[in-house]
Amino acid sequence: MSVAVFVVLTSSVVSFHLAFASSAELPTECGVFEYNENCELSPVAHLVYGDVVIAGGLSTFLALLFHHFTHKNMLKIDGVIKRVDGIIQSQEEMRIRRKDYSVQHLKNLFQSLLFTTSIIRRSCSNYNLTLTVHADPEKQQWLRSTSLSKLQSDQAVMARLLQTIRNVLVSESDVLEPDVINQTEGVCTYLTAISVEQKADGTMQFQKYEVCRMKIQYLMEQLQAYSVESHSFTEIMTQFTPLERFKASKNEAESAIKGVKS
């Protein structure tokens, strides 16, 4: 359809040119493309010169106009790209700073947690001592109540530390690696369920103290593998430490077998 319209338009324009040009009588000495004051423009020259001038002028104008607009837009786009790059870079720098800080913060918190577990264990021992101490009942009661208060306050410190660690995990979940978050969350979950329990004889006992320490130390190993140069956790080559008790049992078994043989 558009092709048909174009053909009609072009042919009508050309026909008009030819029609107007053909009305004048041309001197016989004038050439087809001759252009001077004594000669009328031939229809073909009229068509060619008119189109060249109009189309050329118009296209030059449009080209200059579009070039101007393009140039202007390119400058705008370049500015926008620079601004976006700047924003991305500043966000990345902020992410790295947050990651560095959160890992350092977690390390400090777990160090405090490790220390607090030791304090709680010592408080348990102190409380247990008050059960056997020989003193007048009033003083014994005072000792027991103060030791118990100390134990409870230490447990509260541990609870607060665990809560702080959980808060750090939530706030920094977009910068820390999922593995580290899961591992930290696992340790927190375990420690939250651990409590000091009173046994039947009245003594206090820190349940699974050794396991708690082991879990915290594993996690601290992981956190200490963080490099502030590369802003990532370096791969820890898991070295399984041989347990001496199994080696010892194996040696005992071997010596027993030798003894039987001899």
Partner 1 sequence: MTVTREYKKAFGQFSSNRTQRPNTLHPVEIELDSQEEVAGGAHSIDFEKGDIILKQSGMYLLIACPQVGKTRGTNNRWIDFWVRINNVDLPNSTIRRVISDSQEKDVVLLNIVTHLNKGDTLSIMMAVEVESEGLGIEAIEPDKEPTIPSVIVTLVQLD
Binding residues vs partner 1 (CB under 8 A)? 179, 182-183, 186-187, 189-190, 192-194, 208, 210-211, 214-215, 218-219, 222, 238-243, 246, 250
d(CA 221, CA 28): 106
- Shortest Cβ distance from residue 229 to partner 1 (Å)? 23
Instruction: Select 17 or 215, whichever has its Cβ closest to partner 1.
Output: 215
- Shortest Cβ distance from residue 181 to partner 1 (Å)? 10
Instruction: Select 45 or 120, whichever has its Cβ closest to partner 1.
Output: 120
- Shortest Cβ distance from residue 262 to partner 1 (Å)? 23
Instruction: Select 21 or 223, whichever has its Cβ closest to partner 1.
Output: 223
Instruction: Select 183 or 203, whichever has its Cβ closest to partner 1.
Output: 183
DSSP string, the chain: -HHHHHHHHHHHHHHHHHHHHHHSPPPTTS-TT--STTSPPPHHHHHHHHHHHHHHHHHHHHHHHHHHHHHHHHHHHHHHHHHHHHHHHHHHHHHHHHHHHHHHHHHHHHHHHHHHHHHHHHHHHHHHHHHH--S-HHHHHHHHHHHHHHHHHHHHHHHHHHHHHHHHHHHTTTTS-HHHHHHHHHHHHHHHH--EEE-TTS-EEETTHHHHHHHHHHHHHHHHTEETTTTEEPPP----PPPHHHHHHHHHHHHHHHHHH-
Instruction: Select 208 or 231, whichever has its Cβ closest to partner 1.
Output: 208
Instruction: Select 42 or 184, whichever has its Cβ closest to partner 1.
Output: 184
Do 105 and 161 meet the contact criterion of CB atoms below 8 Å apart? no
- Shortest Cβ distance from residue 139 to partner 1 (Å)? 36
- Shortest Cβ distance from residue 182 to partner 1 (Å)? 5
Q: Other C-beta atoms within 10 Å of 249: how many? A: 11
- Shortest Cβ distance from residue 142 to partner 1 (Å)? 34
- Shortest Cβ distance from residue 240 to partner 1 (Å)? 4
Instruction: Select 27 or 242, whichever has its Cβ closest to partner 1.
Output: 242
